[in-house]
């Protein structure tokens, strides 16, 4: 039997909004460690990985490991029926074919339960490399979201270059070019406004803005976002948002191979 | 001659927004008692009934009973041109073929008059049964609106069951099922937040969510809504919103006959 | 070389939003006097004229007169990427084929530069008559915007009549007629709320609401709008919004010739 009670139910609502546009159907895993998901996006380019640790739940009962296949669109429809202050409990029987989401209003005047059918989903094996990252940038999540959105009005691809003192986001398109430079800044009033660059090696790589914009759907989850980049073009970039103190949502995206335009005869 | 001056003109704006999606053309009646409307919705399933009592107007002159046929879409277009703080006066001549809406800004700097052509509309005879209701539920209008909207994402029909202590709203659809239970609660800080159940007999019946959602367009008119249900499936449910201290808007909807699925061979 | 630094960058953003729906491509002129534009709208009916005087810029360098052809849609896309508190600098080289918009955040943590290709645009010769206006109305810009929008729900043309004490806006359409009267009012708490009429001669003329509604896109630029009317039907109406203390945006529109319906046999 499974019974996971999350007092800050709005977190689960926001998590779903962060995933549902990227992945249609996915398996959620539940073990004594926590509630998690690893899924490839529907176009097989990006990977999303979610962990909500068991300690973050007010009550966490998971008698045996469970894998529950869910349609994320339908799950999102149900979670949208929870109030932002509601307590959400996820319930399932071992071997059952449904999951129940229970929503309790803070005053306990209103109790809702929504039961959803589970699906059989074949899991992709997702091997994420145990990578060493050469540059890690932490910045306000809404600033990152704004930059991705702004650059999308000009081009399709963002080039990210990290040096010791600054990170540069660039794009080019039919109407012109754009460069946005953020300078490292750790002397801010609010720690979440800091722009922190940890650079072992300068990194410069290109990413599809379409996916970056999908990742920024997680912005309401956290005030900051961490972007980890490697100078090896084989390693994916990782964009991570913390989920309160209880876990994270991470997006992985392979860099675009630079087209070497000048070497063609 | 007709001259009805309503200081809180925004009420009339809200009344129109509550009706215009349900009924296209309707007759408004004006007598010494008040300004009223009784109309069947355009699909001939629901009935809407409006009364604004003469005492609620600052000035109320109605020399003889008048029946004025209006297109509610056009009337709504004109009333939308009134500011929310404007005083609205409805004017018509006996036997004339137009009605004039006059809008005065609070400072009297701006005076607008909008003249609309009247229509000849054949009135449906609407016989509303003088019913005894077995259960009456009063609840916050925005909570009722939220429940109807939420359940519509899952199913088409809502089953409402009233017992002494609680009212349950249920639905089912392709993606699953949903139950929302509200408990009677009269010990609240603000009286409009109370959930009050007056039950003579337990009632359980099914209603089309499409219409319930239309009725909730009246939510801005009142903080509370009253739902009256009868255990006889021939009597319509009544959903009532007060219009300030001067009247009401009532929606009538016949329950769906339960399909007896189990008796089929 | 050209380098114009505007501390209140949001003004330039708002200016573009005021023009871009009316004109697709236009030449901006830069001289020691200021930064300006004169363009005919794409349907060749209205004229828009912009002036931002050099004194309004924190830094204004313009080595020689420049004419820069820009696509206003693309320029607006780029300016939308500037934050509302950003400082905007416009840069161009003499004889170059690009213009650069630089956006600096107030904290200087974020510096963006957007480079746009210039276009060759044949300039219309626009002769604006040196007119004497018989009536000038100054009123709150949001009130003017509201009136144009409201009347558009009823008709296509607004008749404006100015007398010593009031200005009347009227329209007629299939669903009825509308008249909105504003009374002169100079005894207001906030000077921008005043309705001021300077009348030498009563004026009455008709204008296409479609254009008037386009002009009101400039409403965010200024709390007040000035409408100048001439009793000669050959002179265009001028609708003017101030751009802070540094300039203006003016729209010119020829009145509609009144159709003399009664003279036809």
Q: Which of C123, C70, C126, C72 is nearest to C98 (CA)?
A: C70
Residue A232, pLDDT above cutoff 90: no
Average pLDDT over residues A78-99: 96
The whole-angstrom distance between B146's CA and the closest CA on chain C is: 31
pLDDT of the residue at C4: 98
Question: What confidence category does residue B265 fall into, taking pLDDT thresholds of 50, 70 and 90?
Answer: very low
**pLDDT at C66 (0 to 100):** 94
**pLDDT at residue A265 greater than cutoff 50:** no
pLDDT in tens, B104-135: 999 899 999 999 999 999 877 777 777 789 89
Residues belonging to chain B with any Cβ–Cβ distance to chain C shorter than 8 Å: 71, 74, 77-78, 80-81, 98, 107-117
pLDDT at C133 over 50: yes
Residue A262 has pLDDT above 50, yes or no: no
Cβ–Cβ gap B178/A71 under 8 Å: no
Structure confidence by residue, pLDDT tens digits, A155-209: 999 999 999 999 999 999 999 999 999 999 988 889 999 999 999 999 999 999 9
Most confident of A126-140, C6-20, C183-197: C6-20
Provide the shortest C-alpha distance from residue C85 to chain A (in Å): 14
Residues in B whose CB is inside 8 Å of some CB of A read 143, 150-151, 153-154, 175-183, 185, 195
Picking from C16, C70, C114 by the largest number of A CB atoms within 10 A of its own CB, the best residue to mutate is C114
Are the Cβ atoms of C74 and A175 closer than 8 angstroms?
A: yes
Distance CA B45, CA B62 (A): 32
pLDDT at B259 over 60: no
**What is the Cα–Cα distance from A91 to A96, expressed in whole angstroms?**
10
Q: Considering the entire predicted model, what is its pTM? A: 0.92
Which pLDDT does position C262 carry in this prediction? 42
* pLDDT of B182 strictly over 80: yes
Per-chain mean pLDDT for chain A:
93
Q: DSSP assignment, residue A63?
A: S
A119, A100 Cβ separation under 8 angstroms: no
Is B261 a residue whose pLDDT tops 60?
no
Q: How far does the CA of residue C22 sit from the closest CA of chain B (Å)?
A: 25
**Predicted confidence (pLDDT) at residue C125 exceeds the cutoff of 90:** no
Question: Is pLDDT of C259 > 80?
Answer: no
Return the residue in C16, C86, C100, C112 with the most chain A beta carbons within 10 A, the one to mutate for interface testing. C112
Average confidence (pLDDT) over C148-174: 97
Chains that touch C (3 or more CB pairs under 8 A): A, B
Whether residue B165 is predicted with pLDDT greater than 60 in this model: the reply is yes
Q: How many CB atoms lie within 10 A of CB C120?
A: 9
Q: What are phi and psi of B245, to 5 degrees?
A: -95, 10
Q: Tell me, what's the pLDDT at B258?
A: 63
DSSP-derived letter for residue A137 is E
- Average pLDDT (A110-127) is 90
Contact B114 C176 (CB under 8 A): yes
In percent, the amount of chain C with pLDDT more than 90 equals: 84
Collect all residues of chain A within an 8 Å Cβ-Cβ radius of residue B195. 109
Using DSSP's 3-state secondary structure scheme, residue C17 falls into helix
ipTM of predicted complex: 0.91
Q: Which of B256, B253, B258, B257 lies closest to B45, judged by CA?
A: B253
Using CB atoms, pick whichever of C150, C153, C182 lies closest to residue B109: C182
- Residue A32: pLDDT band (50, 70, 90) is very high
pLDDT higher than threshold 90 for residue C109: yes
Taking CB atoms and an 8 Å cutoff, what residues of chain C touch A195?
Answer: 109
> In DSSP terms, which residues pair with B166 in a beta bridge?
B183
Residues of B in contact with C195 (CB under 8 A): 109
| pLDDT(B174) > 70 | yes
B153 closest CB neighbour out of A71, A81, A109: A81
- Mean predicted confidence (pLDDT) in A214-231: 96
Kindly state the DSSP code that residue C55 receives in the 8-state scheme: G
Which positions ≥6 away from B262 have C-beta within 8 Å? none
pLDDT computed for residue B125 by the predictor: 73
| Contact criterion met (CB < 8 Å) for B178 and A117 | no
The pLDDT of residue A259 is 55
Binary contact (A115, B153; C-beta < 8 A): no
The region of weakest confidence among A76-85, A230-239, B92-101, C220-229 is A230-239
The DSSP string of B162-174 is E-SSEEEEEEEET
pLDDT of residue C207: 96
At C258 the pLDDT is 63
Structure tokens at A238: 């990782």
Report pLDDT for C232: 79
Interface-testing mutation among B109, B116, B117, with chain C (most C C-beta atoms within 10 A) = B109
Residue A264 confidence class, pLDDT cut points 50, 70, 90: very low
Percent of chain B exceeding pLDDT 90 equals: 84
* DSSP string of chain B, one letter each residue: -EEEEESSTHHHHHHHHHHTTT-SEEEEEE-SSEEEEEEE-TTSSEEEEEEEEGGGSSEEEESS-EEEEEEHHHHHHHHTTS-TT-EEEEEE-TT-SEEEEEEE-TTSSEEEEEEEE-B--PPPP--------SEEEEEEHHHHHHHHHHHHTT-SEEEEEE-SSEEEEEEEETTEEEEEEEE-B---SSGGG-BEEEESS-EEEEEEHHHHHHHGGGGGG-SEEEEEE-SSTTSPEEEEEEETTTEEEEEEEPPBPPP-GGG--
Q: What is the mean pLDDT of residues C181-187?
A: 93
Q: What are phi and psi of A155, to 5 degrees?
A: -140, -175
- Report phi then psi at B120, rounded to 5: -90, 115
Q: Does position C159 have pLDDT exceeding 50, yes or no?
A: yes
Q: In this complex, do C114 and A154 lie within 8 Å of one another by their Cβ atoms?
A: yes
Which residue of B108, B111, B116 is in closest CB contact with C176?
B116
> Which residues in chain A are closer than 8 Å to B177, comparing Cβ atoms?
114-115
């Amino acid at each position: 039997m499974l019974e996971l009670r999350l007092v800050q139910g709005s977190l689960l609502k926001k998590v779903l909004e962060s995933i549902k546009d990227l992945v249609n159907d996915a398996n959620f895993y539940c073990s004594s460690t926590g509630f998690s998901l690893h899924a490839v996006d529907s176009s097989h380019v990006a990977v999303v990985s979610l962990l909500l640790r068991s300690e973050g739940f007010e009550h966490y009962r998971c008698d045996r490991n469970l894998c529950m296949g869910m349609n994320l669109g339908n799950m999102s429809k149900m979670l949208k029926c929870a109030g932002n202050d509601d307590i959400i409990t996820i319930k399932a029987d071992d071997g059952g074919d449904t999951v129940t989401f229970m929503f309790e209003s803070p005053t306990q005047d209103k109790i809702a339960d929504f039961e959803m059918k589970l699906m059989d989903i074949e899991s992709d094996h997702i091997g994420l490399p145990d990578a060493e990252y050469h540059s890690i940038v932490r910045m306000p999540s809404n600033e990152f979201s704004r930059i991705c959105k702004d650059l999308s009005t000009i081009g399709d691809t963002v080039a990210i270059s990290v040096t010791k003192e600054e990170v540069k986001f660039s794009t080019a398109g039919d109407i012109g070019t754009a460069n946005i430079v953020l300078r490292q800044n750790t002397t801010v009033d609010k720690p979440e406004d800091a722009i922190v660059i940890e650079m072992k090696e300068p990194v410069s790589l290109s990413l599809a803005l379409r996916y970056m914009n999908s990742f920024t759907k997680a912005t309401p989850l956290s005030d900051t976002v961490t972007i980890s980049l490697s100078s090896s073009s084989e390693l994916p970039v990782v964009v991570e948002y913390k989920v309160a103190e209880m876990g994270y949502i991470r997006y992985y995206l392979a860099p675009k191979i630079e087209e070497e335009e000048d070497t063609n005869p």
